[in-house]
Amino acid sequence: MLPWNDRAGNLSVLKLIVFLGILAPGAWIALQAATGSLGAKPITAAIHQSGDWSLRLLLVALLVTPLRFIADWPKLIAVRRMVGVAAAAYALVHLLFYVVEQAYDLQKVASEILLRFYLTIGFVGVVGLLVLAATSTDAMIRRLGSTAWNRLHLLTYPLTFIAIWHFFLQTKIDVSQPALMLGFFVWLMGFRLMRRRGIAPRPLQLAGLALISGIATALLEALWYATMTGVMASRILLANLDIAFGVRPALWVVLAGLALALVSLVRLRARRDAPAPRRATAGAR
Protein backbone atom coordinates (compact mmCIF):
# COMPACT_ATOMS: atom_id res chain seq x y z
CA MET A 1 0.00 0.00 0.00
CA LEU A 2 1.28 3.45 -0.88
CA PRO A 3 2.18 5.58 2.17
CA TRP A 4 -0.25 8.33 1.17
CA ASN A 5 -3.25 6.00 0.91
CA ASP A 6 -5.65 5.12 3.69
CA ARG A 7 -6.47 1.53 4.67
CA ALA A 8 -9.11 1.36 1.95
CA GLY A 9 -6.51 2.24 -0.67
CA ASN A 10 -7.87 5.73 -1.27
CA LEU A 11 -5.78 8.91 -1.35
CA SER A 12 -5.52 10.55 2.07
CA VAL A 13 -4.74 14.25 1.77
CA LEU A 14 -3.48 14.32 5.37
CA LYS A 15 -1.09 11.41 4.81
CA LEU A 16 0.12 12.89 1.52
CA ILE A 17 0.91 16.24 3.17
CA VAL A 18 2.74 14.53 6.03
CA PHE A 19 4.64 12.27 3.61
CA LEU A 20 5.85 15.28 1.61
CA GLY A 21 6.68 17.03 4.86
CA ILE A 22 8.94 14.25 6.12
CA LEU A 23 10.71 14.07 2.75
CA ALA A 24 11.37 17.82 2.69
CA PRO A 25 14.33 17.87 5.16
CA GLY A 26 16.14 15.14 3.21
CA ALA A 27 15.50 16.98 -0.04
CA TRP A 28 16.82 20.18 1.52
CA ILE A 29 20.03 18.46 2.68
CA ALA A 30 20.47 16.96 -0.80
CA LEU A 31 19.90 20.36 -2.45
CA GLN A 32 22.48 21.99 -0.19
CA ALA A 33 24.95 19.23 -1.01
CA ALA A 34 24.34 19.62 -4.76
CA THR A 35 24.80 23.39 -4.64
CA GLY A 36 27.82 23.30 -2.33
CA SER A 37 26.08 25.28 0.41
CA LEU A 38 26.67 22.87 3.29
CA GLY A 39 29.74 24.81 4.35
CA ALA A 40 33.42 23.99 4.69
CA LYS A 41 32.63 20.57 6.19
CA PRO A 42 29.62 19.33 4.21
CA ILE A 43 29.55 15.81 5.66
CA THR A 44 29.68 17.16 9.21
CA ALA A 45 26.84 19.56 8.40
CA ALA A 46 24.81 16.70 6.91
CA ILE A 47 25.44 14.62 10.05
CA HIS A 48 24.12 17.40 12.26
CA GLN A 49 21.11 18.23 10.11
CA SER A 50 19.98 14.62 9.71
CA GLY A 51 20.35 14.04 13.45
CA ASP A 52 18.43 17.20 14.27
CA TRP A 53 15.57 16.17 12.00
CA SER A 54 15.45 12.68 13.47
CA LEU A 55 14.91 14.18 16.92
CA ARG A 56 12.39 16.73 15.66
CA LEU A 57 10.36 14.01 13.99
CA LEU A 58 10.48 11.90 17.15
CA LEU A 59 8.95 14.80 19.07
CA VAL A 60 6.34 15.33 16.34
CA ALA A 61 5.43 11.63 16.57
CA LEU A 62 4.97 12.03 20.33
CA LEU A 63 2.88 15.17 19.72
CA VAL A 64 0.31 13.25 17.66
CA THR A 65 -1.49 11.79 20.67
CA PRO A 66 -1.82 15.08 22.62
CA LEU A 67 -2.85 16.99 19.50
CA ARG A 68 -5.57 14.53 18.54
CA PHE A 69 -7.17 15.05 21.96
CA ILE A 70 -6.60 18.81 22.20
CA ALA A 71 -7.78 19.55 18.66
CA ASP A 72 -10.34 16.72 18.64
CA TRP A 73 -8.69 15.37 15.49
CA PRO A 74 -8.84 11.54 15.71
CA LYS A 75 -7.70 11.03 12.10
CA LEU A 76 -4.28 12.38 13.10
CA ILE A 77 -3.40 8.98 14.57
CA ALA A 78 -3.10 7.65 11.01
CA VAL A 79 0.19 9.52 10.46
CA ARG A 80 1.94 8.69 13.74
CA ARG A 81 3.52 5.51 12.40
CA MET A 82 4.76 7.27 9.27
CA VAL A 83 6.42 10.04 11.28
CA GLY A 84 8.02 7.57 13.69
CA VAL A 85 9.47 5.47 10.87
CA ALA A 86 10.78 8.67 9.22
CA ALA A 87 12.53 9.58 12.49
CA ALA A 88 14.25 6.18 12.46
CA ALA A 89 15.22 6.65 8.80
CA TYR A 90 16.85 10.02 9.48
CA ALA A 91 18.65 8.49 12.47
CA LEU A 92 20.06 5.77 10.19
CA VAL A 93 21.14 8.39 7.63
CA HIS A 94 22.75 10.31 10.51
CA LEU A 95 24.81 7.22 11.36
CA LEU A 96 25.69 6.51 7.72
CA PHE A 97 26.94 10.06 7.23
CA TYR A 98 29.21 9.49 10.24
CA VAL A 99 30.58 6.35 8.55
CA VAL A 100 31.26 8.43 5.43
CA GLU A 101 33.03 11.06 7.52
CA GLN A 102 35.30 8.33 8.91
CA ALA A 103 36.22 7.31 5.33
CA TYR A 104 34.19 4.06 5.61
CA ASP A 105 36.65 2.74 8.21
CA LEU A 106 34.20 0.52 10.11
CA GLN A 107 36.83 -0.53 12.64
CA LYS A 108 37.44 3.11 13.54
CA VAL A 109 33.69 3.78 13.66
CA ALA A 110 33.20 0.87 16.06
CA SER A 111 36.09 1.94 18.29
CA GLU A 112 34.85 5.53 18.40
CA ILE A 113 31.37 4.36 19.36
CA LEU A 114 32.81 2.22 22.15
CA LEU A 115 35.21 4.87 23.47
CA ARG A 116 33.13 8.03 23.22
CA PHE A 117 30.10 7.99 25.51
CA TYR A 118 28.02 10.43 23.47
CA LEU A 119 28.53 8.20 20.43
CA THR A 120 27.70 5.10 22.47
CA ILE A 121 24.31 6.38 23.58
CA GLY A 122 23.69 7.80 20.11
CA PHE A 123 24.29 4.38 18.59
CA VAL A 124 21.99 2.75 21.15
CA GLY A 125 19.33 5.27 20.18
CA VAL A 126 19.69 4.54 16.46
CA VAL A 127 19.49 0.78 16.98
CA GLY A 128 16.47 1.17 19.23
CA LEU A 129 14.64 3.34 16.70
CA LEU A 130 15.38 0.87 13.91
CA VAL A 131 13.95 -1.96 16.01
CA LEU A 132 10.77 0.05 16.60
CA ALA A 133 10.52 0.93 12.91
CA ALA A 134 10.97 -2.72 11.91
CA THR A 135 8.15 -3.76 14.26
CA SER A 136 5.74 -1.04 13.11
CA THR A 137 4.03 -3.10 10.43
CA ASP A 138 0.56 -4.59 10.82
CA ALA A 139 2.09 -8.06 10.42
CA MET A 140 4.45 -7.51 13.36
CA ILE A 141 1.62 -6.17 15.50
CA ARG A 142 -0.34 -9.37 14.85
CA ARG A 143 2.72 -11.54 15.47
CA LEU A 144 3.69 -9.87 18.75
CA GLY A 145 0.16 -9.26 19.98
CA SER A 146 -1.16 -5.82 20.86
CA THR A 147 -0.10 -5.97 24.53
CA ALA A 148 3.51 -6.96 23.83
CA TRP A 149 3.69 -4.54 20.91
CA ASN A 150 2.50 -1.63 23.01
CA ARG A 151 5.01 -2.47 25.74
CA LEU A 152 7.82 -2.62 23.20
CA HIS A 153 6.90 0.75 21.72
CA LEU A 154 6.93 2.38 25.14
CA LEU A 155 10.67 2.41 24.47
CA THR A 156 9.96 5.46 22.31
CA TYR A 157 10.08 7.58 25.49
CA PRO A 158 13.54 6.57 26.78
CA LEU A 159 14.88 6.52 23.21
CA THR A 160 13.75 10.11 22.72
CA PHE A 161 15.44 11.07 25.98
CA ILE A 162 18.62 9.31 24.83
CA ALA A 163 18.52 11.27 21.57
CA ILE A 164 18.20 14.55 23.50
CA TRP A 165 21.04 13.53 25.83
CA HIS A 166 23.21 12.72 22.81
CA PHE A 167 22.34 16.15 21.39
CA PHE A 168 23.45 17.85 24.62
CA LEU A 169 26.72 15.93 24.79
CA GLN A 170 27.77 16.57 21.19
CA THR A 171 26.93 20.29 21.37
CA LYS A 172 30.06 22.26 22.17
CA ILE A 173 28.96 25.57 23.70
CA ASP A 174 25.42 26.80 23.07
CA VAL A 175 22.87 24.17 24.14
CA SER A 176 19.82 26.25 23.30
CA GLN A 177 18.56 23.77 20.71
CA PRO A 178 18.89 20.63 22.87
CA ALA A 179 17.41 22.56 25.80
CA LEU A 180 14.44 23.48 23.61
CA MET A 181 13.98 19.84 22.58
CA LEU A 182 14.19 18.80 26.24
CA GLY A 183 11.55 21.37 27.15
CA PHE A 184 9.16 20.05 24.53
CA PHE A 185 9.83 16.51 25.77
CA VAL A 186 8.99 17.60 29.33
CA TRP A 187 5.66 19.00 28.08
CA LEU A 188 4.88 15.82 26.13
CA MET A 189 5.60 13.61 29.14
CA GLY A 190 3.67 15.99 31.40
CA PHE A 191 0.61 15.69 29.17
CA ARG A 192 0.74 11.90 29.35
CA LEU A 193 1.12 12.03 33.12
CA MET A 194 -1.94 14.29 33.35
CA ARG A 195 -4.06 11.84 31.39
CA ARG A 196 -2.78 8.86 33.38
CA ARG A 197 -3.84 10.60 36.58
CA GLY A 198 -7.26 11.37 35.13
CA ILE A 199 -6.69 15.11 34.70
CA ALA A 200 -8.67 16.37 31.70
CA PRO A 201 -6.50 18.36 29.27
CA ARG A 202 -8.66 21.49 29.41
CA PRO A 203 -7.35 24.98 28.56
CA LEU A 204 -6.55 25.99 32.15
CA GLN A 205 -4.74 22.72 32.85
CA LEU A 206 -2.80 23.00 29.58
CA ALA A 207 -1.81 26.57 30.43
CA GLY A 208 -0.52 25.35 33.79
CA LEU A 209 1.41 22.57 32.07
CA ALA A 210 2.97 25.14 29.73
CA LEU A 211 4.21 27.23 32.66
CA ILE A 212 5.52 24.21 34.57
CA SER A 213 7.31 22.88 31.47
CA GLY A 214 8.88 26.29 30.84
CA ILE A 215 10.15 26.53 34.43
CA ALA A 216 11.50 22.97 34.21
CA THR A 217 13.27 23.84 30.94
CA ALA A 218 14.94 26.89 32.52
CA LEU A 219 16.05 24.89 35.57
CA LEU A 220 17.39 21.97 33.54
CA GLU A 221 19.28 24.29 31.16
CA ALA A 222 20.82 26.14 34.09
CA LEU A 223 21.76 22.85 35.76
CA TRP A 224 23.49 21.68 32.56
CA TYR A 225 25.58 24.84 32.25
CA ALA A 226 26.44 24.78 35.95
CA THR A 227 27.59 21.14 35.96
CA MET A 228 29.19 20.92 32.50
CA THR A 229 30.71 24.38 31.97
CA GLY A 230 30.97 25.93 35.42
CA VAL A 231 28.75 28.88 34.45
CA MET A 232 26.70 30.04 37.43
CA ALA A 233 23.16 28.69 37.26
CA SER A 234 21.77 32.05 38.40
CA ARG A 235 23.20 33.75 35.29
CA ILE A 236 21.40 31.30 33.00
CA LEU A 237 18.16 31.66 34.94
CA LEU A 238 18.33 35.45 34.77
CA ALA A 239 18.97 35.25 31.03
CA ASN A 240 15.47 33.83 30.64
CA LEU A 241 14.09 37.17 31.84
CA ASP A 242 15.98 39.21 29.24
CA ILE A 243 15.02 38.85 25.57
CA ALA A 244 17.51 41.45 24.37
CA PHE A 245 19.74 38.65 23.08
CA GLY A 246 16.93 36.43 21.83
CA VAL A 247 14.13 34.30 23.22
CA ARG A 248 15.42 31.54 25.49
CA PRO A 249 14.23 27.90 25.15
CA ALA A 250 12.08 28.11 28.29
CA LEU A 251 10.00 30.92 26.84
CA TRP A 252 9.54 29.09 23.53
CA VAL A 253 8.26 26.08 25.47
CA VAL A 254 5.79 28.26 27.38
CA LEU A 255 4.58 29.95 24.19
CA ALA A 256 4.12 26.61 22.39
CA GLY A 257 2.23 25.19 25.37
CA LEU A 258 0.00 28.24 25.60
CA ALA A 259 -0.71 27.99 21.87
CA LEU A 260 -1.99 24.46 22.40
CA ALA A 261 -4.07 25.67 25.35
CA LEU A 262 -5.56 28.28 23.01
CA VAL A 263 -6.36 25.57 20.45
CA SER A 264 -8.16 23.65 23.19
CA LEU A 265 -10.11 26.75 24.20
CA VAL A 266 -11.19 27.49 20.62
CA ARG A 267 -12.21 23.88 20.12
CA LEU A 268 -14.30 23.82 23.30
CA ARG A 269 -16.09 27.04 22.38
CA ALA A 270 -16.76 25.78 18.86
CA ARG A 271 -18.28 22.63 20.33
CA ARG A 272 -20.49 24.63 22.70
CA ASP A 273 -21.66 26.94 19.92
CA ALA A 274 -22.43 24.09 17.52
CA PRO A 275 -26.19 23.65 16.97
CA ALA A 276 -27.74 20.71 18.77
CA PRO A 277 -28.77 17.81 16.51
CA ARG A 278 -32.46 17.78 15.66
CA ARG A 279 -34.57 15.13 17.28
CA ALA A 280 -36.38 12.75 14.96
CA THR A 281 -40.15 13.21 14.73
CA ALA A 282 -42.51 10.39 15.67
CA GLY A 283 -43.26 9.56 12.05
CA ALA A 284 -39.66 9.59 10.84
CA ARG A 285 -38.19 6.39 9.38
Q: Is 81 helix (H, G, I), strand (E, B) or coil?
A: helix
End-to-end CA distance of the chain: 40
Amino acid 9: pLDDT: 83
Per-residue pLDDT of the chain in tens (285 residues, 90 and over written 9): 788 888 888 889 999 999 999 999 999 999 999 999 998 899 999 999 999 999 999 999 999 999 999 998 988 999 999 999 999 999 999 999 999 999 999 999 999 999 999 999 999 999 999 999 999 988 999 999 989 999 999 999 999 999 999 999 998 778 999 999 999 999 999 999 999 999 888 999 999 999 999 999 999 999 888 888 777 777 777 777 777 767 889 999 999 999 999 999 999 888 887 676 565 544 443
Q: 282: number of CA atoms within 13 Å, CB side?
A: 0
What is the spatial distance between Cα 210 and Cα 255, in angstroms, rounded to a whole number? 8
Burial of 209 (0-12, 13-18, 19+ CB in 10 A): buried
What is the spatial distance between Cα 188 and Cα 202, in angstroms, rounded to a whole number? 15
pTM score of the predicted model: 0.91
Q: Which helix (H) or strand (E) holds 220?
A: helix 203-228
- Write the DSSP assignment of 237-282 as a string of letters: HHHTT--TT---HHHHHHHHHHHHHHHHHHHHHHHHHSPPPPPPPT
